[in-house]
Amino acid sequence: MAIPCPHFNPVTSEKPAMEVLSPSPVVLTQDELKRIAAYKAVEMVESGMVVGLGTGSTAKHAVDRIAELLHKGKLKKIIGIPTSTKTHKQALSLGIPLSDLDSHPVLDIAIDGADEIDPNLNLVKGRGGSLLREKMVEGVCKKFVVIVDESKLVKYIGGSGLAMPVEIVPFCWKFTAKRLQELFEHAGCVAKLRTSASSNGMENGGYVAKLSTFACSNGMENGGLPFVTDNGNYVVDLYFTRDIGDLKAASDAILRLAGVVEHGMFLDMATTVIVAGDRGVTIKNKIINNADELISISNSIAIEAKRKDGQYVTVATALSKGRTWLS
């Protein structure tokens, strides 16, 4: 099934490791690009599947599309597992049957957006505040499909200069924020407690936060109110000016800090990344046969891949009607 957008050529039912559709003759908005990527991802959903429903502006398009196909009878017996109270409300309003991880501990597929994607398909997620539930749901999926526009592509995690979120418990949050900042001094880290613009605070799940003032040099503006997650926790946003280095080591170091609940680095989790941009739609799949992993793709006739022994190899490709796939 082709993407329902007249600006892109239709795609066959083949499932290549990489696919590039022809460039659009018109300039699309960022939201239109998000919708195109989301609709392409939903083509992977089949009747009878248990589907993780992501959170955010891009994932919203996917949830809308799933509901549309259910109402048209093109999808049947879908069960959705939402990753936030916001997505739960959206899916309920659209008539998507819902459940949870207690009843469905393994999911067929999850579709969600991302805030950053590096060349190794590692992600930053959670700038919307739902990182814990997103990681719980998307960590038990057979397929995790990430949908983004090309503005989310970065050279390294933290490379956008925007936030890498860490969910923490409210107790002594200033102490935890300071330790997080010190942990990444080598990367020029600044830790900021996320605040809500609401004068009444941020209320999720019946939990309302009140503020203890934090020095501006450490992030939060005086008199602000903290953002509160669906789980009643706070979020500290980490901002980097340099590469943080070994991501696995960084992940382990963050999680070892008492007071940390979870962080927004989703490492080695995405199985497919769909990127919509001015040149068209690109699909990047992780190669899992023999533990080989696709790490970079371009429009050229060569695709660089990383083998399980750490060596880099060039994988042969073929070109036909604007599409590229692994041979």
Bridge partners, 239 (sequence order) = 190
The least confident of 86-100, 129-143, 176-190, 280-294 is 280-294
Task: List, for residues 28-76, the tens digit of each pLDDT value.
Answer: 888 999 999 999 999 999 999 999 999 999 999 999 999 999 999 999 9
* DSSP secondary structure code for residue 22 in this structure: P
Question: At the topology level of CATH, where does 18-153+269-326 sit?
Answer: Rossmann fold (3.40.50)
Q: Comparing 18-153+269-326 with 164-242, is the CATH topology the same? A: no
Which is nearest to 111 in space by CA: 34, 7, 15? 34
Candidates 160, 156, 163; CA nearest to 121 is: 156
Give tens-digit pLDDT for 111-137.
999 999 999 999 999 999 999 999 999
- Positions marked active-site: 134
Which position has the higher pLDDT, 153 or 302? 153
| pLDDT (tens digit per residue) in 299-323 | 322 333 444 454 444 333 322 223 3
Provide the edge-to-edge strand list for the sheet that holds 312-320.
293-296, 302-306, 312-320, 323-326
Q: What is the mean pLDDT of the chain?
A: 80
325 — pLDDT class (breaks 50, 70, 90): very low
Going by pLDDT thresholds of 50, 70 and 90, the confidence category of residue 223 is low
71-75, 80-84, 87-91, 285-289: the lowest-pLDDT one: 285-289
Q: Where are the domains of the chain?
A: 18-153+269-326, 164-242
Question: What mean pLDDT comes out for the span 202-222?
Answer: 38
Q: Are the C-beta atoms of 183 and 177 separated by less than 8 Å?
A: no
- Torsion of Cα atoms, 115 then 117 then 121 then 122, to 10°: -60
Superfamily of domain 164-242: ACT domain (3.30.70.260)
